[in-house]
Amino acid sequence: MSFGQRKNFTVPVDAESPEARDDAKLLPLGPFDKIPPIIIDGQDAPKTPITPTTPIIYCPQSPSATSKRSRALRPGTTRKYRRRAILKNGDCNIVLSKVSRQRLRFLQDIFTTLVDAQWRWTLLVFAFSFIGSWLFFGAIWWLIAFTHGDLEEMHLPKNQEESGWKPCVFNIESYTSAFLFSIETQTTIGYGYRTTTEECPEAIFIMCFQSIYGVMMQAFMVGFVFAKMTRPKHRTQTLLFSKHAVVCQRDGELSLMFRVGDMRKSHIIGANIRAQLIRTKLSREGEVMAQYQHELEVGADHCGSDLFFIWPQIVTHRINAESPFYNMSASDLLQDRFEIVVILEGTVESTGQSTQARSSYVNTEILWGHRFEPIVFYNKENQVYEINYSKFNETHSVDTPLCSARELAEFYKYQDDYRNQAEDHHHLQTPA
């Protein structure tokens, strides 16, 4: 039995990959040393049939081609990572441009804008909101005193007892004293040196208005600072995703796997894991959809996408006929361009707030023929389960076919058919 001959191809040196495509790590050849490999070097394809356990060695077409690609990078430049929508730390690699009335829209939702702003801008707005209101109301108190005649020479505090003048506010003789009275009124300090009198109704109204305004503004500013400090995004810093995803066999099927973990003792309640494949797709009408999203069916063990998240879990995507990776072999994985975005959602046990952690994997971060090292062990001495996070990203190579899941399924089907035919033939040859 043999599958169709593969097309000639060469894995080029990609200037965007982080480590120039570490093929030796992505395609481990150690377990298949006893099987003669198929060498693809850009020439005519060999006549040797490709089976699921046939290793493939990738060679460049010629030294000149390799040197020509290496000269494309200027001295002193570094290789760039593949473009991705979600960075490894979960941030979205997205920049908005040419948004109409952007500033006005952000000002209309000032609370969210201040929460999302950087801390230096938040603290700057916090300080200027108080200082600005003190200066503003200080000017109003100065105007009240000026229009009432309290700032005239004979009506100043030192001459009021002699002239018998009753001011709107005691002990205001300049803008500085009016500014200090504004601070005392808004912060309800009340030193008792400057007080409002019954002489001016407008002064009584401004005192009530400034007191109410000060309480409202203080509640607003403290509210958004507290919201900024307790954002669920900070909880995601202790939710871990494995550095690489792996592809290996599990229960007879090729599976794409990655690991998630939580470093805190306060667990995520109702944890749910999702994964989406972002790649270019061509529709039947010829439309090129550059950021087409395809939902991947993922789950941990047989619990589906809902996780009992008390220890690190290995999330699995079975590469079956419903998977977009069904026709993709190890070599196809190296040449294709795609991004797998993984999303972990749940409720923080300690605060009751919803949180979402994100990460992503591009094709150069998927190790074909690897399996994660176990990290959860039972400590008999302490009688607890111990999690060794030092091995969270460690993997080891395992025997894994390099063909696609479709070819592997066909291979197993032909194997079963051959075995059944052999058994039937044996029964026919055996006398009753």
CA distance 40 to 402: 14
> Is the residue at 211 inside a domain?
yes
Question: Do 333 and 240 share a domain, yes or no?
Answer: yes
Per-run averaged pLDDT (10 residues), the chain, 432 residues:
42 41 46 42 44 41 38 39 77 80 77 82 88 94 92 87 88 92 89 87 93 90 81 79 94 92 87 92 88 91 85 92 92 89 89 86 93 92 90 93 90 83 72 60
pLDDT value at residue 432: 55
Question: Do 294 and 211 share a domain, yes or no?
Answer: no
Question: Do 193 and 283 share a domain, yes or no?
Answer: no
pLDDT value at residue 82: 61
Domain count along the chain: 2
The domain containing residue 175 runs over which residues? Answer: 119-230
CB 211 within 8 A of CB 188: yes
Question: Do 152 and 218 share a domain, yes or no?
Answer: yes
Among residues 230, 246, 278, the one where a domain terminates is: 230
Strands 313-318, 299-300: pairing is: antiparallel
pLDDT value at residue 118: 83
Question: Do 296 and 208 share a domain, yes or no?
Answer: no
First to last CA, the chain: 32
What is the domain-level CATH number for residue 208? 1.10.287.70
DSSP secondary structure of 311-376: S-EEEEEE-STTSTTTT--HHHHHH---EEEEEEEEEETTT--EEEEEEEEEGGGEEETEEEPP-E
Q: 87: closest CA among 356, 339, 394?
A: 339
pLDDT value at residue 246: 95
pLDDT value at residue 282: 87
pLDDT value at residue 35: 40
What is the domain-level CATH number for residue 354? 2.60.40.1400
